[in-house]
Amino acid sequence: MDISLVGSINIDLVYRVPYIVNKGETLHSASHSVHFGGKGANQAVTASQLGANVHFIGKVGKDDFGEQAINNLKDRGVYIDSVQKEGATGQAMIQVTDAGGNAIVLFPGANFLVTPKQIEQEAAIISSSKVLLLQLEIPLDAVEKAVKIASQHGKIVILNPAPSQKLPDSLLKNITILTPNETELAQLTGIETTTEEDIRSACKLLLDKGVGTVIVTLGSKGSFYINHVESGWVQALSVDTIDTTGAGDAFNGALAVGLCRGDSLRSSIDFATKVAAYVVTQMGAQPLILQSVLK
Ligand code: RIB
């Protein structure tokens, strides 16, 4: 079960607040904590805890945060030989509300120093893994390079288009599975995603551009998946939510594991739904995953 993961590594500075601060307002935070984060790192840690061999390709800063973030990945079983050090480590300032929602301000730092050249140097890792998993917290040209290498070798390419940005058709046609949330789907396609019919239409537009399967994550409403053969709605599980930060990342990491071990699309989505529901019951974006709870 080898997954190559091209993506971001951050330190998350988390503030618990009664609500998301308004413009011009100073708001007291009830508690402050520092966690390991970054969409790439969160997905990598999830997949590794679920038994995959995860090879991380990315960058941290030449600072204490960078050292700590690399050690954390190593401790969680992620292979870090392809993580380079340059500049300052990425940071995310995250407000988490009492209801579990969040708002994030991102300083990309070293993540934005990942280049196509660095990816090219790691072509052997990408071409020998079963799945390539990526997000959009690193420069798009680096994402494009990794996807090109993986698709030339017939690999499963999962792109979590977060944070959202317009994507070229030349990239979309090489994506096996695209996993936007509702907002990202709307931004990617220019189609409002208010109703189920809107969501279907937006997904169809992406399928017409060559995306293999679209899985739309809808938070407490579950998810919708569609390709040229099948489609369906998957219900979210009802849990006591503490912190939704990293729920999407857990979903993507688990999805990659399911597909990597040869499970069907539907059962990989069911598995990812279960893992995401479990991690929102804990603080931070990289909680411990107890396999026994997922049975
Ligand atoms: O998806 C959650 C992640 O987004 C956080 O860990 C934060 O680092 C930002 O990248």
Residues in the chain: 295
Residue nearest to atom 7 of ligand 1 (CA): 38
Proportion of the chain above pLDDT 70, given as a percent: 99
Tens digit of each residue's pLDDT (9 = 90 or more) over 20-52: 999 999 999 999 999 999 999 999 999 999 999
Can you give the pLDDT at residue 283? Answer: 83
Domain residue ranges in the chain = 2-23+30-294
Q: Would you give the DSSP letter of residue 136?
A: S
**What is the 215 CA–ligand 1 centroid distance (Å)?**
20
pLDDT above 70: residue 293: no
Fold of 2-23+30-294: UDP-N-acetylmuramoyl-L-alanine:D-glutamate ligase (3.40.1190)
Judge if the beta carbon of residue 104 lies within 6 A of ligand 1.
yes
Contacts for 263 with CB less than 8 Å, ≥ 6 apart: 271
The span from the CA of 252 to the CA of 247, in Å, is 9
Question: Could you give the percent of the chain with pLDDT greater than 90?
Answer: 88
- Name 59's bridge partners: 84
**pLDDT on residue 290:** 76
pLDDT in tens, 217-274: 998 899 999 999 999 999 999 998 888 889 999 999 999 999 999 999 999 999 999 9
Atom 6 in ligand 1: residue holding the nearest Cα: 37
Average confidence (pLDDT) over 54-61? 98
- Cβ–ligand 1 distance for 245 under 6 Å, the answer yes
Say how far apart CA 157 and CA 211 lie, in whole Å.
10
Of ligand 1's atoms, which has the minimum distance to the CA of residue 10?
Answer: 8
pLDDT of residue 196 exceeding 80, the answer is yes
Residue 164 has pLDDT above 70, yes or no: yes
Q: How many CA atoms lie within 13 A of 53 on its CB side?
A: 8
Alpha carbon separation from 233 to 104, 171, 202 (Å, rounded): 28, 26, 15
